[in-house]
Structure 1
Amino acid sequence: MNFRLPKYHSPDFTKDQFVAAPNVIIEKVTIKGVAPENYHATSIYPEYFKVDGKWILASESRMDCVVVLKNDKSLEVKEFRNLDIGDSVILGRNENAESGIYVHVGGFTYNESEEQQSFVFRTGRTRESSYSKDYDSLYELLKHEREHGYILWVLGPAVIFDHDSKNAMAGLIDAGFVDVIFAGNALATHDLEGSILRTALGQNIYTQQSVFNGHYNHIDIINKARRAGSLEKFVEQENIKDGVVYSCIKNNIPLYLLVP
């Protein structure tokens, strides 16, 4: 399998279904953070909305949000919690232009038909689902980006709570599939805890068994790291030879820890 970036194909808005489609219907927000009834929720696909007879693509879209029509006729995709009183929210649950809303599931080159893709997204395949072919595609994507792009990982501490996943992430760093990591301080803390004490949050990272006074482990790690003055000095002093932090330092990979 050789990865190729898919080509995007815009809809043909000269077709009758688009020409005859009505403009979107809007309703204003009356309670901050609460969308009107029958709001349209965004998907993982490119979405177009008909405003004053013109189809407009919602830029910077994200899943499970609502679309707000602004005074200048531009579109803003908002999370529910960010809705303000007076925002004009687009309404409609039809997505094939009938309500002035078109979800373009066939915008990229796929093997499935648009109908199959739409059905799969709405009934089974979500961003939380993963299958063997998805991992195959991910491997090819990582290989492509290693040669042609820049790979940034945004990680939570769950990746290092398990012995094998911790080693797998370190292996990706060593193999050149990581150019930078963004994470919270918990990732570094529990990764170092696992490298020294073989625990994370006081549980053995392989057996998941809790150890006596294990809840002190990560606090001890933080205290010792602060005494060392830097992660580099701490790794050297403790003779750490495995883990995500160690691999980042060894391979000169930037590790940005976002601390509240």
Structure 2
Amino acid sequence: MPHRPYEDVRVEGHLIDSGIMSQIMDTIVALDGEFETLTFEVGRTNEDASVAEIRVKGRSQEHLEELLGSVQLFGVVPVHPDDAVLAPVPCDGVFPEGFYSTTNLETAVRIGGIWVRVENPEMDLGIRVDPEAGTAETVPMADTHEGELFVVGHGGLRVQPIERPRAGQAFEFMNSAVSSEKPKAQVVAEIARMLRQVRAAGKEVIAVVGPAVVHTGAAGHLARLVEMGYVSVLFGGNAVATHDIESALYGTSLGVSISEGIPKVGGHEHHLRAINTIRRLGGIKPAVEQGVLTEGLMYTLVKTGTPYVLAGSIRDDGPLPDVITDAVQAQAAMRPYCRTAGACIMLSTMLHSIATGNMLPASVTTVCVDINPAVVTKLSDRGSFQTIGIVTDVGLFLGQVADDLEATT
């Protein structure tokens, strides 16, 4: 039998109860590789880490590299690691060929024999390294500059997987990623408790909001959360801001009366007239300052000084002056908040939720509330595996969460 290239690797952590060991083995077999367990020291208690050394075998060196790159996500590193391979950026806005594409997990890179933490974990970026300073950070493709050094290949990298927590925490009552049948009162209580903990820890809470929040009459409940300090920043698009302002100026959302739930005569024009008014005044904040916009979610954000980022799309009417129409600029505006967030609540907006999920570290507690369970499935499929899904009406959900938090504030 011909010699098959192999690499001896090591993995440490709660390998059994977190399912990491089985995932490593399953991944190798699924990719038509082979493994041999060289040593496996199991932790004596549930608090103790286990350590395993595994020989990974591939059909060829190229196949072996594919196997090692795939199991790297589970915290696997070579027994005898080398420094990361670096290559210069050939021109602005381009990664070097063979660049390492990041995950949203905590990652370290080996520079000069020392493991260095990669700052700002985020998926689908590159890792820029300054060997003299001994630093490493994730960088979007559009922000690269000629001559900068980036990691290429999978060598000299260590990824820290998300393990099952050692003690109870919020959402331990959910056994599945998408929850539609759990008691809603219990779900609401756990989320309210999580928000209190995040705020008490001094961390930020991102609310990613779709226009359904306005359509269902729940914008007022979200405004209450803003006033109580449970929303640090709002992400949305032209639609949520437009229909909230339409609601404040005309009492309708998409031409339907908020109070009566029936279409108003000429209501189909209301959102355009609302946009026109805000454009004439120069933006949402000037409309508040001039006394034209006197209520609603956007009014509350302005009055409380809560920042918001409105990212546009090709289908937007207007748009409002506050909307960022350049996608790269919108990402740049959202990214700093994602990097410091302690929690993120996504409310009935699939595309903005996916965009935000792509920028969040895996360590950020992420909750997606939508009447459609497919939204949460898409988030997970695109890499935001840490997302907890709650299938329910967003209007009822926000009202109950606001009531719970208000009762204990």
Q: TM-score range by the shorter chain?
A: 0.5 to 0.7
SS in 2 for 1:234: coil
Query: Which amino acid in structure 2 is aligned with residue 234 of structure 1?
Result: V
From 253, 273, 297, the equivalent of 1:216 is 273
TM-score by length of 1: 0.61
In the other structure, the counterpart of 2:178 is 131
What pairs with 1:99-178 in structure 2 (closer than 5 Å)? 99-106=155-162, 109=165, 131-132=178-179, 138-149=191-202, 151=204, 153=206, 158=211, 161-173=214-226, 176-178=228-230
From 77, 84, 87, the equivalent of 2:145 is 84
What pairs with 1:1-260 in structure 2 (closer than 5 Å)? 17=77, 20-72=80-132, 73-93=134-154, 99-106=155-162, 109=165, 131-132=178-179, 138-149=191-202, 151=204, 153=206, 158=211, 161-173=214-226, 176-178=228-230, 180-181=232-233, 190-199=243-252, 203-204=255-256, 211-214=267-270, 215-221=272-278, 223=280, 231=288, 233-235=291-293, 240=295, 243-245=296-298, 247=300, 253-256=304-307, 259=322
Q: Once the two structures are superposed, what CA deviation does each residue of 1:184-210 show, in whole Å capped at 9, x if it has no partner?
A: 89565542222232445x554877979
**Structure 2 contact 245–274 (Cα < 8 Å) conserved:** no
Cα separation, partners in 2 of 1:55 and 1:255, compared to 1, 3 Å: closer
Cα deviation, residue 257, structure 1: 6.0
Query: Which amino acid in structure 2 is aligned with residue 194 of structure 1?
Result: S
Count matched residues: 216
Which sections of structure 2, spanning at least 5 residues, go unmatched?
1-48, 55-76, 168-176, 310-321, 325-409
Cα separation, partners in 2 of 1:208 and 1:42, compared to 1, 3 Å: farther
Cα separation, partners in 2 of 1:41 and 1:79, compared to 1, 3 Å: same
Cα separation, partners in 2 of 1:167 and 1:70, compared to 1, 3 Å: same
Cα deviation, residue 254, structure 1: 2.3
**Structure 1 contact 30–85 (Cα < 8 Å) conserved:** yes
Separation in 1 of the partners of 2:100 and 2:247? 45
SS in 1 for 2:150: strand
Separation in 2 of the partners of 1:212 and 1:189? 13
Query: Which amino acid in structure 1 is aligned with residue 143 of structure 2?
Result: N
**Structure 2 contact 86–149 (Cα < 8 Å) conserved:** yes
Query: Which amino acid in structure 1 is aligned with residue 277 of structure 2?
Result: D
SS in 2 for 1:34: coil
Higher strand share: 2
**Structure 2 contact 255–268 (Cα < 8 Å) conserved:** no
Which sections of structure 1, spanning at least 5 residues, go unmatched?
1-10, 94-98, 112-129
Percent of aligned pairs sharing the same letter: 16
Cα separation, partners in 2 of 1:89 and 1:247, compared to 1, 3 Å: closer
Cα separation, partners in 2 of 1:43 and 1:168, compared to 1, 3 Å: farther
Cα deviation, residue 70, structure 1: 1.8
**Structure 1 contact 152–178 (Cα < 8 Å) conserved:** yes
TM-score by length of 2: 0.42
Cα separation, partners in 2 of 1:57 and 1:148, compared to 1, 3 Å: closer
Cα separation, partners in 2 of 1:70 and 1:151, compared to 1, 3 Å: closer
Cα separation, partners in 2 of 1:83 and 1:108, compared to 1, 3 Å: farther
Separation in 1 of the partners of 2:94 and 2:140? 10
Cα deviation, residue 52, structure 1: 1.5
Cα separation, partners in 2 of 1:138 and 1:52, compared to 1, 3 Å: farther
Separation in 1 of the partners of 2:199 and 2:304? 14
Separation in 2 of the partners of 1:18 and 1:140? 41
Separation in 1 of the partners of 2:113 and 2:131? 16
Separation in 1 of the partners of 2:230 and 2:212? 14
- Alpha-carbon RMSD across the aligned residues, in angstroms, is 4.4
